[in-house]
Structure 1
Amino acid sequence: QLKSGFFVCPSVRQAKEALENGEVPVGCLLLYNGEVIGRGRNEVNETKNATRHAEMVVIDRVLDWCKEHNKDYTEVFPQTVLYVTVEPCIMCAAAIRLMSILSCLFMPEGCMSKCYSFGEGPHIVIYGCQNERFGGCGSVLNISSDDLVDTGEPFKCVSGYRAKEAVKLLKAFYRQENPNAPKSKVRKKENRK
């Protein structure tokens, strides 16, 4: 049985590291048999690659872990638990679904001090706050559970675990300047102050 409270803090630490590196503060980690086998944070600005979201980074790291440990990723991913600070975007939700991470639990607000045990088996994605602009688990599209052809198995979602902390990190990011933003966008931001 997995206790979520024990593993959420490392994903928040990944988000804080992303913020310190000028990235949108999203962090995540993947567990397999109760062991962290991959950590990820946004690396979009750092790599100048718009696809390097925390979830994509952690998937790549777990694929590397599988190679190093002579494991078949098609057997590992369905047995993993993904912890992420913000609702996966549409792209990441599709990747999670394709990798067969079959459930996504978004913990209800106000349950921050509790630990949760999941009896249904691994296959879990736990995230903090919703992504109202790009969310792929119900906020914008429901990639996680829609009936889609050739896209892997749907996964369940529950949100809100440590959402206030995730939102606080996002607000801190959006208060600062993005050094990679086009000058026209920076000026628009200055005019809004």
Structure 2
Amino acid sequence: MPLLTHSTLEHSDDDQIWMGRALELAKIAASTEEVPVGAVLVRGTEVLAEAHNRTVADADATSHAELLTIRSASMVQGDWRLLDTTLYVTLEPCAMCAGAIVLSRIPRVVYAAADPKAGMAGSLENLLQEPRLNHRCELISGVRAEESAELLRAFFQRLR
């Protein structure tokens, strides 16, 4: 399955809308002094789970938006396999989150901004489409990327 990027794929209206919800969650994270990342897991038109980063609030390095969303959706549906879903996330997943996405069998991932320092969906490596693994995801990048990048820039500028 080839890597699909914003330069090779038109972004659907649904992708724009769901990423908008993920961006709202990222703004909530920023307002609570968390790194502004939001995630929404959707099956069809139904939101299975959503979350924003909570690493500070939870004092837990694993409380990334993607992991919290995956955990919640798995509990709600009573299955660790999150088949027929799309994960929308405002920042390219890190190694930990990419691993969880692969293990939970999420078939489609849409992310906004690339993460050149930690991104594992194409920036540093592409764990989500690694041919040696037993599961690979359709991958779409760049949906509302500038909005997400601006949230991140503003957040980190406040810290300096």
Q: TM-score range by the shorter chain?
A: 0.7 to 0.9
- Cα displacement string for residues 48-81 of structure 1 (whole angstroms, at most 9, x for unaligned residues): 11111100010111022113xxxx342xx12111
Q: CA RMSD in A?
A: 1.7
Structure 1 stretches of 4+ moved >3 Å: none
- Paired residues in the alignment total 149
| 1:2 Cα offset (Å) | 7.9
What residue identity is the alignment partner of 2:86?
V
Structure 1: which 5+ runs fail to align? 103-123, 178-188
Instruction: Name the SS for the 1:28 alignment partner.
Output: strand
Structure 2: which 5+ runs fail to align? 1-11
| 1:11 Cα offset (Å) | 0.5
2:125 aligns to what?
141
1:13 pairs, out of 24, 49, 72, with: 24
1:183 aligns to what?
none
What residue identity is the alignment partner of 1:83?
Y
What residue identity is the alignment partner of 2:42?
L
1:51 aligns to what?
62
What residue identity is the alignment partner of 1:168?
E
What is the CA–CA distance in structure 2 between the aligned matches of 1:158 and 1:33, rounded to whole Å? 17
Task: Give the TM-score taking structure 2 as reference length.
Answer: 0.87
What is the CA–CA distance in structure 2 between the aligned matches of 1:166 and 1:2, rounded to whole Å? 17
Task: Give the TM-score taking structure 1 as reference length.
Answer: 0.72
1:101 pairs, out of 96, 101, 106, with: 106
Identity %: 33
2:137 aligns to what?
155
What is the CA–CA distance in structure 2 between the aligned matches of 1:63 and 1:34, rounded to whole Å? 17
| Larger-Rg structure | 1
